[in-house]
């Protein structure tokens, strides 16, 4: 899939060999790293099919991967029909579960390290994007009109956030999940 993004990307991963893991888990695993326990957790399809977090419980440090980005618009890997393995509703539910862990330190997939407020900001953005997509669908706008309107609105709301090219992908993913057409998106 990544080879299709751009020739430069394909060139960078040419010759890369995947190494099979020697330990696998499904759903969760607790691992002792020589006196320090870490917890691996996954909840199934959300941002991707295989999102995983790592929690260091005694320090309350949470590594979120791309489930959370700090001051960045959420990366929606939504490229139908080849890749549409994202579930915005489930993503919001997973973020709620992460907030309940009450982490002291959150290490997001992109952006600055922060506290639990980073998770809250990511969840609130997804909730707003879904609600606004639904509202504009109810007003009869098509997906391209919704993308145009929400792209501008979200950029104005968060002028200091990175990766605004992902706003439209999020709109299209929510639009499809809310019963709209699954209009194809193109890679950023």
* Segment 61-87, tens digit of pLDDT: 999 999 999 999 999 988 887 778 899
Confidence grade of residue 54 (pLDDT, cut at 50, 70, 90)? very high
The pLDDT, as a whole number, for residue 187 is: 44
Give the range of the structural domain holding residue 93, as residue numbers without chain letter: 22-177
Confidence grade of residue 188 (pLDDT, cut at 50, 70, 90)? very low
The torsion defined by the Cα of 168, 131, 27 and 48, in degrees rounded to 10, comes to -10
Indicate the pairing of strand 53-56 with strand 37-41. Answer: antiparallel
Mean pLDDT, the chain, rounded, equals: 91
Beta strand segments in 51-188, E: 53-56, 61-69, 105-110
Query: Are 65 and 160 in contact, with CB atoms under 8 Å apart?
Result: no
DSSP 24: -
CATH number at residue 63: 3.60.15.10
Q: How far apart are CA 185 and CA 151, in angstroms?
A: 14
- Does 69 map to a domain? yes
- Rg over CA atoms, the chain: 18
- Does 55 map to a domain? yes
* pLDDT tens per residue, range 105-139: 999 999 999 999 999 999 999 999 999 999 999 99
Residue 77: closest CA among 67, 85, 69: 85
Find where tokens 């639990």 sit. 116
- Does 163 map to a domain? yes
- Does 88 map to a domain? yes
- Does 104 map to a domain? yes
Find where tokens 């390290």 sit. 113
The pLDDT, as a whole number, for residue 181 is: 67
Confidence grade of residue 147 (pLDDT, cut at 50, 70, 90)? very high
**Greater pLDDT, 37 or 81:** 37
φ, ψ dihedrals at 53, nearest 5°: -110, 160
Tally the domains of the chain.
1
DSSP 79: B
């Amino acid at each position: 899939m990544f080879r299709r993004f751009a020739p430069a990307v394909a060139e960078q991963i040419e010759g890369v060999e995947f190494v099979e893991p020697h330990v696998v888990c499904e759903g969760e695993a607790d691992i002792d790293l020589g006196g320090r326990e870490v917890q691996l957790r996954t909840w199934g399809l959300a941002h991707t099919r295989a999102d995983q977090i790592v929690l260091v419980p005694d320090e309350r440090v949470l590594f979120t991967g791309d489930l959370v980005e700090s001051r960045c618009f959420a990366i929606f890997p939504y490229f139908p029909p080849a890749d549409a393995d994202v579930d915005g509703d489930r993503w919001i539910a997973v973020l709620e579960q992460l907030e309940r862990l009450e982490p002291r330190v959150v290490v997001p997939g992109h952006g600055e390290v922060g506290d639990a407020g980073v998770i809250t900001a990511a969840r609130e953005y997804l909730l707003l994007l879904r609600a606004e997509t639904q509202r504009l669908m109810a007003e009869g706008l098509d997906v391209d009109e919704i993308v145009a309107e929400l792209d501008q609105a979200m950029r104005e709301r968060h002028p200091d956030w990175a990766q605004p090219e992902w706003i439209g992908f999020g709109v299209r993913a929510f639009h499809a999940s809310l019963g709209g057409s699954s209009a194809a998106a193109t890679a950023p």
